[in-house]
Amino acid sequence: MSITDPSPGRPTRPGSGRPRQPRAFTAWLALLTAGSVALIGCSPLHEQGAAGPTSMPPGSSTQIPAEHDPLVSSGPLETVRSSSLSPIYFLGANGKNVFLYREFRQAEDLGDPITTAVSAMTRLKPRDPDYFNPWNPAGKVGASITNGSIITLDISSDAFKADVDQGIAERAVQQLVYTATAAAANAGLTSAQNPLRVVVLVDGHTGYQAFGHVQLGAPMSRNYALVAPVWVVDPQEGATSEGQVRVLGRGVAFESQLSWQIYRLKGPKDSGDGELVRSGTVSVSAPMGQTGEFEFTQPLDPGSYRLYVYHEDMSGRTRDRQNADSKVFTIR
């Protein structure tokens, strides 16, 4: 299998300051420096992806929100974090919309970070039960990158078997765009100053209708409107730590802060909220209405817990958590 990039040019050489990469990845970089653009990954996959909703929530619009007025106004690329874990995006229902959420996952090394992440995206089930994955396992996935700015993916058509509506189809395609660009950024193959676009081929051809709704082939960028308005990065679902929990995440700054709650559970499989043991607020490092980071630490006794981070309705019309993301974790 081969990929023809519509914008051939000199591939970007990774910086020398990143952590040492696996041997397969080093070999792939050598291939890139030898020519213009070459195929950098192609692998058969067998595991099944996760089932999930096939349509948008009742009362929602099936269309992606207008890019000129999104809830989230920016979606910065990932920074170099891990050479052993792949950034994988999934979908998650939030009220009357469906947003993109990310997990860092162990994935089979297929020779380059983009192919590895995209392949894993089509077949992995999200750890967080609030997320879902509309993709089917792709029999083959290939990827290439040009000048650190154009990623070309070639995916087999079996990945698009799910019967979903237009809203989920559009979000699934953005799930692919976010995963590919996150993998490139996480591996240090591009920079925040060099906006990435993704071209998707199916079985080597342009013009395929993804899930019967979205035509592929033209360069696509991240749609910031689909980033989750509150998103817990750490702890990941099912994580274990010693004596305390360190919470990291991103969120839209409303009133410049987010609210949080920690409930003690009877066990890690407890589906209820349990007993409230901690609560508070945390500042978001961004101006009002923009996306920023948040972080806080809480000491906790050994046990299982559920964390919520959310927007509080400052008008007082409801006490329900707004745009909440939750994680179950264990303290030893």
The b-or-e profile of 136-149 (16+ CB within 10 A means b, else e) is bbbbbbbbbbbebb
Instruction: Write out the two tokens for 61.
Output: 């619009």
Domain boundary among 207, 226, 245: 226
Please report whether residue 3 resides in a domain.
Answer: no
Domain boundary among 226, 259, 286: 226
Please report whether residue 97 resides in a domain.
Answer: yes
Assess whether 295 and 220 both reside in one domain. no
pLDDT computed for residue 313 by the predictor: 82
Using pLDDT thresholds of 50, 70 and 90, give the confidence band for residue 80: low
* CB neighbour list of residue 262: distance below 8 Å, 6 or more residues apart: 245, 276, 277, 278, 279, 298, 300, 305, 306, 307, 308
Choice between 174 and 316, residue whose per-residue pLDDT is larger: 174
Assess whether 96 and 167 both reside in one domain. yes
- Please report, rounded to a whole number, the percentage of residues in the chain having pLDDT higher than 70: 76
Please report whether residue 115 resides in a domain.
Answer: yes
pLDDT computed for residue 2 by the predictor: 34
pLDDT computed for residue 83 by the predictor: 65
Please report whether residue 9 resides in a domain.
Answer: no
Mean of pLDDT values over 49-77? 54
Please report whether residue 51 resides in a domain.
Answer: yes
Residue 248 has pLDDT above 60, yes or no: yes
Choice between 27 and 142, residue whose per-residue pLDDT is larger: 142
Domains contained in the chain, number: 2
Assess whether 157 and 239 both reside in one domain. no
Assess whether 125 and 270 both reside in one domain. no
Residue 329 has pLDDT above 50, yes or no: yes
pLDDT computed for residue 252 by the predictor: 85
Q: What is the CATH number of the domain that holds 240?
A: 2.60.40.2550
Q: What is the pLDDT of residues 274-311, one digit of tens each?
A: 999 999 999 998 877 778 889 999 999 999 999 999 99
Please report whether residue 13 resides in a domain.
Answer: no
How many Å apart are CA 145 and CA 210, to the nearest integer? 22
Assess whether 181 and 261 both reside in one domain. no
pLDDT computed for residue 180 by the predictor: 96
State the chain's mean pLDDT as an integer.
80
Residue in the structure block whose two tokens are 């745009």:
323
Please report whether residue 165 resides in a domain.
Answer: yes
Residue 218 has pLDDT above 70, yes or no: yes
pLDDT computed for residue 60 by the predictor: 56
Assess whether 110 and 52 both reside in one domain. yes
Residue 4 has pLDDT above 50, yes or no: no
Assess whether 200 and 238 both reside in one domain. no
- Domain span at 250: 230-331
Assess whether 174 and 268 both reside in one domain. no
pTM: 0.78
pLDDT computed for residue 304 by the predictor: 96
Please report whether residue 11 resides in a domain.
Answer: no
Residue 216 has pLDDT above 70, yes or no: yes
Residue 64 has pLDDT above 70, yes or no: no
End-to-end CA distance of the chain: 48
Using pLDDT thresholds of 50, 70 and 90, give the confidence band for residue 315: confident
